Amino acid sequence: MQQEESGTPINADDFGIWLSRQLRRRGLSQSDLAVALDVTRAAVSAWITGRATPRFEKIQEIERVLHLATGSSATRDEAPDSAGSISWHHRPAHADGGRELGNAAAFAFDSDLAVLAREAAQNSLDERHDLSRPVRVRFILHEITGERLRRLQEALLWDELVPHLRAAADTGQKVGRVIANGLRDLKERGSLLLLRIEDYNASGLTGPEYDDGRFAAVVRRQLDSHKGGAAGGSYGLGKVTLWAASQFGLVLMNSMLSEPYEGRHDRRLIGRLDLPWHEINRMQYAGPAWLGEGDPTRDGAARSWWADERSVEEFYLTRGSGDPGTSFLIVGAHDPSGEATDLEQMHQALVRGLASGFWASMVSGREMPPMMEASVEGLRDGQVVVAEERVDPHRYEPARTRAMRAFLNGETTSQITGPEDVISLDVPLTVPPLKGAEKSSSLTHRSVLLITPTGDDDPKPNRLVGMRGTRMAVLERGVSDVPLGAIRFQAVLLAGRAAGATGPDADAAERFLRAAEPPEHNDWKATDDLTSTYARGARQRLTEFKQAMLKQVRDAVRPVEQVSEEGAPKVLRDLLRLDPPVLARSPGYPTVKSATGMIDSDGAWHVRVEVRLPERADPWLLKPLLRFATRSGPLPSVPWAQINAVSHCEVVGQDDIRCAPGTRTAVFTGVSDKSHHPVSARMAGIEVDLVRRREIL
């Protein structure tokens, strides 16, 4: 800290940063200032670099030369209404004649609002600043008309943009058709839909204007994720969904920085417009443009600016707190899939997308806060029309949320004996060495598999969700070939740091699975990144991992055969079997090869049966019998409500199956007649037997 003659303390570093910014804003060099102040170029350089501060009278002269209010150097105020120096800066067309008729990265996704919610929330999770608190993500839909619309257009310098938008609205190109539709909607409806996505307790767009950093990665570059470790993103593609959700390709940004740039933290603003190549009055433009201050050191470039509160309000970018993070304003928001056509439908789509992808990130433990909180709100001209809904993971994923909370609280069990139980199992993942390091040994990571019962009202039971790092749902698939009589369940696979591990094996698992994720982050598979990064065998290790988790699920939900201490009679053990028994028949008779099924919400069994057939020239005519496996007495038969042929067979009469000559297997499905169930379907297992019909039809 140094002191000028008046005794007021001045931080030399902060003053130098401030002075450099004011010179750049006025388009003056250090030499220009030295001449105007009648000092040496070296003296100005010392002020800029923070090695010295000017005397009091020189500070007054600096404020006069730069047309600043008296005292601005002490308060670090900017030029009055800095927005006056803001303009659009369009990138000229490539000198070699190359053209981009849209951002190719936007076509890497099947764009819809759920994808937008996933990518935006994932980026916020990756940038969580204080790990002891959740990152808060808000989605605010705001439809504006009349005076509000006019004021925003004035702030955006809309009249300057319209010629570019019209020139880019080429209906022969996909991106051009979207722009043309946006301009038409704006004219016919007289309204504009804004979507502000903002996060709190995030890093913000830190870093320099052009060199490596978060700011440049988001604002200026493509395919630069600027991430590592357990981050969900890895391709640098997700940010493009923001621009894809704008009919005009227009996004504004206001960032509160977690670390200073140019000596400041608050209200760093810039806008980016992504248009395809276009031409106006024989002047060709590449497409991208930036709203900001002109940079005299780079011809045609625009820099971010430190906005005042009034400017931030005009751009609908006022933030709710001083927590670091970024607010993105999507101008002319729409659902690229066309499914959500109004504000209310878009609200619902965003809530569903957040709940589906991040329910696990929003679960808290007894001594552990959630990683993320998310909400969605809808406004029209400043009035709330859809109240802010904080996404409740338990509401949308009750069984999975219960499993996650039990894991965080250390309340998992070794077996399921009740509807609220959660079992925890280990699933090994072998991570091969990196290419070029084949002599090093593989690492084995123990991922965690959670399984819990789900209710009869669950529309999608018997599913497995896999995640890592930030607990964003990545892998989701149904578990097939579940044994008959198994409970309805939900399974959650936690790998890497999501499993609570922090050692080298967890880091290795994070890197391995991150490389196995495609741009959509919806699977683990053999991507180019995986096979080019890891030694031979990486594909097989991934396949083994996925097979192991499915096998663990099937084994865990298989009904347990009850045997007394003295040993139960075989006939009783057979009655308690819930899997189809192996029929003791000669190889010359049709047998049930496999039978799988589930109980629907109405209490009826839905069964899929595969039949093994001896080879013969004539067709087989069979009558499938459905029996309830009770604890004593004969096995009562239950009629079929419906039978359907699937392959190599046909239904004959009411419930007979005719199998084609020469075929070795046949498949059919059936639904039990619940009105004839001797007991509730959940009180007994079932068996499927085959009776040969004598008649050949």
Q: What would the mean pLDDT of 9-38 be, rounded to a whole number?
A: 74
Confidence tier at 54 by pLDDT (50, 70, 90): confident
Token output for 383: 């009035």
Distance (Å, rounded) from C-alpha 605 to C-alpha 677?
10
Distance (Å, rounded) from C-alpha 139 to C-alpha 635?
58
Q: What would the mean pLDDT of 675-691 be, rounded to a whole number?
A: 83
What is the model's pLDDT at position 107?
Answer: 55
With CA atoms as reference, report the closest residue to 309 among 261, 256, 384.
Answer: 256
Q: What would the mean pLDDT of 566-594 be, rounded to a whole number?
A: 56
Tallying the residues shown for the chain, one arrives at 697
Angle at CA of residue 324, ends 209 and 151, nearest 5°: 75
- Same structural domain for residues 132 and 276? yes
- Same structural domain for residues 515 and 584? no
Domain limit, last residue, from 330, 360, 393: 393
Query: Within 495-537, where are the H helices?
Result: 504-515, 528-533
User: Is residue 697 situated within a structural domain?
Assistant: no
Q: Which residues contact 270 (CB under 8 A, 6 or more apart)?
A: 219, 252, 253, 290, 291, 292, 302, 303, 304, 305
Distance (Å, rounded) from C-alpha 446 to C-alpha 425?
9
468, containing H or E segment: strand 463-468
Name the more confident of 344 and 563. Answer: 344
For residue 112, with 0-12 CB atoms within 10 Å meaning exposed, 13-18 middle and 19 or more buried, which class applies? buried
User: Is residue 537 situated within a structural domain?
Assistant: yes
H/E/C letters for each residue in 419-460? CCCCEEEEEEEEECCECCCCCCCCEEEEEEEEEEECCCCCCC
Confidence tier at 568 by pLDDT (50, 70, 90): low
User: Is residue 461 situated within a structural domain?
Assistant: yes
Name the more confident of 97 and 535. Answer: 535
What is the model's pLDDT at position 24?
Answer: 74
Q: Which residues contact 129 (CB under 8 A, 6 or more apart)?
A: 135, 201, 202, 203, 258, 324, 325
Residue whose token pair is 């200073």: 260
User: Is residue 598 situated within a structural domain?
Assistant: yes
Please determine, for residue 229, whether its predicted confidence score (pLDDT) is greater than 90: no
Task: Let me know: does 440 contact 453? Beta carbons within 8 Å.
Answer: no
Quick one: angle between helices 56-65 and 30-37, nearest 10? 120
- Same structural domain for residues 530 and 611? no
Task: Let me know: does 399 contact 462? Beta carbons within 8 Å.
Answer: no
What is the model's pLDDT at position 73?
Answer: 66
What are the backbone angles phi and psi of residue 305, rounded to the nearest 5°? -135, 160
Confidence tier at 4 by pLDDT (50, 70, 90): very low
What is the model's pLDDT at position 12?
Answer: 60
| Of 35-49, 527-541, 585-599, the least confident | 585-599
CB atoms within 10 A of CB 283: 11
443-453, strands of its sheet edge to edge: 423-431, 443-453, 489-494, 463-468, 472-478
With CA atoms as reference, report the closest residue to 213 among 259, 265, 249.
Answer: 259
User: Looking at this protein, which amino acid is placed at residue 446?
Assistant: R
With CA atoms as reference, report the closest residue to 194 among 155, 233, 237.
Answer: 155
What is the model's pLDDT at position 573?
Answer: 52
Domain limit, last residue, from 503, 533, 557: 557
- Same structural domain for residues 252 and 113? yes
Task: Let me know: does 377 contact 138? Beta carbons within 8 Å.
Answer: yes
- Same structural domain for residues 386 and 405? no
* Intra-chain end-to-end CA distance of the chain, in Å: 102
Distance (Å, rounded) from C-alpha 412 to C-alpha 556?
14
CA distances 659 to 275, 607, 697, Å, are 61, 18, 11
Distance (Å, rounded) from C-alpha 45 to C-alpha 323?
35
Residue whose token pair is 């009349």: 146
- What share of the chain has pLDDT > 90, as a percent? 46
CA gyration radius, the chain: 33
Which residues span the domain enclosing 304? 101-393
User: Looking at this protein, which amino acid is placed at residue 201?
Assistant: N
Task: Let me know: does 222 contact 103? Beta carbons within 8 Å.
Answer: yes
Query: pLDDT tens digits, residue range 600-650?
Result: 888 888 999 998 888 776 788 889 999 887 655 677 889 999 999 888 888
Q: How many structural domains comprise the chain?
A: 4
* CA neighbours closer than 13 Å in the CB half-sphere of residue 649: 28
Confidence tier at 135 by pLDDT (50, 70, 90): very high
- Same structural domain for residues 648 and 503? no
Distance (Å, rounded) from C-alpha 673 to C-alpha 605?
8
- Same structural domain for residues 651 and 534? no
Ranges 218-222, 365-369, 436-440, 494-498, most confident: 494-498
| Of 27-31, 167-171, 192-196, 233-237, the least confident | 233-237
- Same structural domain for residues 408 and 494? yes
What is the model's pLDDT at position 137?
Answer: 97
Query: pLDDT tens digits, residue range 241-277?
Result: 899 999 999 999 999 999 998 888 899 999 999 999 9
User: Is residue 96 situated within a structural domain?
Assistant: no
User: Is residue 678 situated within a structural domain?
Assistant: yes
- Same structural domain for residues 361 and 480? no
Distance (Å, rounded) from C-alpha 592 to C-alpha 266?
71
CATH assignment at residue 69 = 1.10.260.40
Task: Let me know: does 492 contact 360? Beta carbons within 8 Å.
Answer: yes
User: Is residue 95 situated within a structural domain?
Assistant: no
Mean pLDDT score of the chain? 84
Name the more confident of 667 and 84. Answer: 667
State how far Cα 119 lies from the chain centre: 4
- Same structural domain for residues 547 and 469? yes
Domain limit, last residue, from 49, 80, 111: 80
What is the model's pLDDT at position 395?
Answer: 94
| Of 134-138, 197-201, 257-261, 592-596, the least confident | 592-596
Q: Which residues contact 7 (CB under 8 A, 6 or more apart)?
A: none
- Same structural domain for residues 272 and 414? no
- Same structural domain for residues 237 and 382? yes
User: Is residue 517 situated within a structural domain?
Assistant: yes
Name the more confident of 325 and 588. Answer: 325
Task: Let me know: does 688 contact 607? Beta carbons within 8 Å.
Answer: yes
Distance (Å, rounded) from C-alpha 555 to C-alpha 545?
15
Task: Identify each DSSP E strand in 257-371 by its residue range.
Answer: 268-273, 278-280, 283-294, 302-303, 305-306, 325-333
Return the biggest CA–CA distance within the chain.
116
Distance (Å, rounded) from C-alpha 629 to C-alpha 484?
11
